[in-house]
Amino acid sequence: MGALGAPVANMQPIWIIRLLFVLTLTLCGYWIGRSSATGLEFSATAFVLGLFIVAVEYATRILSTKRIVLGIIGAFFGLAFSRLFYDTFPREMFPEPQASLTAFNLLFMYFGIVVALRNADRISLNRLRFFVTSPKEDSILLDTSVIIDGRIRDLYLMGFLSKNAIVPTFVLDELQALADSRDAGKRHNGRKGLENLDEFKEVAPMQIFEKDYPDQNGVDQKLISLAKEIGAWMLTNDYNLAKVAALHNIRVMNLNQVAAALRPTITVGDQVVIQLTREGKDPGQGVGHLEDGSMVVVDDAKEQIGELIPVTIVSMMHTNAGRLVFGRKLDDSMEAMTPRPLAETPEATAPTSN
């Protein structure tokens, strides 16, 4: 019971519904033909028809609404041209008119659908968007950098994001290649990304999208092509990828920019308390971090590493990786701002003579 029950328990509800649909259609076919000797033939026909319908329904998952609509339009145009061409031939040419008409319809429908799908990128349905919305347009593509980063899980937990997350198979392949790399840094990033995905799927709607573009080199180019094809958003930490995707009119969300927008406002002259965790690149520097993760470099603070110290912000610099803050120990800054007393001169200390 346990061995048989495990696959059923792990089966997704949608597949159970599809199985019940095929079984019900098969029983209906048997019920229709039960009074004749062809009952089994009716059942087999209904079973094949059910499988065909499920296959068509499953295939629509990898097509955007735009391509489905264009395919239907192409099929109608194919039927129209089929009738037009069929009527130009004399009936005597076709010994079976009905079968010939059906063959014409299928042939021209096929060509109509193929031509429409091949030219889908050249056709715009912007004016139809008020009643046509692709389910993929409410999805967001994850690139390798944002998966390794891991902060996207917190965004979904807090409700900032609710879109269906799509992870293409070529992104998974890149993560696996990194995890198998001989380079220790790449291997760490790859394994971290795979672990983040395993945790992420427990808190957010995630779909592994089986799609590849063998004629294109590089994961970035494939992500851009997939985003254009299905009309999805893109979430990345890669500044250059975000810029290129924006040039292709792809809606992009840069996680670093989102984090920067949510950071508390800090200006030069503000005083904060941070814990120094390590030495800086220059001699005597100590490095700590603000609560939002911004790195703070403090001069002449090497002796206070491991301690909580008050710091005055003296300058800031924004980079592609985030915000870099430079500070000075508060004691030093207060000493600099406190006016020093005048030095005592010999004349001032010498005793006065009477």
Strand bridging mode 252-254 / 233-236: parallel
Helix (H/G/I), strand (E/B), else coil: 67: helix
Higher pLDDT, 37 or 348: 37
CA 107 to chain centre: 39
pLDDT attached to residue 322: 67
pLDDT attached to residue 334: 44
pLDDT band at 62 (very low <50, low <70, confident <90, very high): low
Q: Helix count (H) and strand count (E) of the chain?
A: 14, 10
pLDDT tens profile 306-332:
888 899 888 888 776 667 889 888 864
Alpha helices in 60-168 (DSSP H): 65-87, 97-118, 144-149, 152-157
Q: To the nearest whole percent, how much of the chain has pLDDT over 90?
A: 10
Residue 127's H or E segment, with its range, is none
**The CATH number, out of the four listed (3.50.50.60, 3.40.50.1010, 3.30.1780.10, 1.20.1070.10), of the domain defined by the range 135-261:** 3.40.50.1010
Residue 241's CB: how many other CB atoms inside 10 A?
Answer: 22
Domain boundaries, the chain: 10-128, 135-261, 265-337
236 in Cβ contact with 217 (< 8 Å): no
165 in Cβ contact with 200 (< 8 Å): yes
Q: How many residues are listed for the chain in this entry?
A: 354
User: How many angstroms separate the first and last alpha carbons of the chain?
Assistant: 117
Residue 5 has pLDDT above 60, yes or no: no
For domain 265-337, the question of CATH label 3.40.50.1980 is answered with: no
pLDDT band at 64 (very low <50, low <70, confident <90, very high): low
CA contacts within 13 A on the Cβ side of 302: 8
pLDDT attached to residue 215: 80
227-230 long-range contacts, Cβ below 8 Å, gap at least 24?
227/141, 228/121, 229/64, 230/64, 230/134, 230/136, 230/137, 230/139, 230/166
What CA–CA distance (Å, rounded) separates 151 from 167? 16
Q: Which of 125-139, 225-239, 247-261 has the lowest mean pLDDT?
A: 125-139
pLDDT tens profile 143-179:
999 999 888 888 888 888 888 888 988 999 999 999 9
What CA–CA distance (Å, rounded) separates 55 from 58? 5
- Written as one letter, the residue type at 32 is I
- Written as one letter, the residue type at 139 is S
Global pTM exceeds 0.95: no
pLDDT tens profile 81-106:
888 887 777 777 777 777 777 787 88
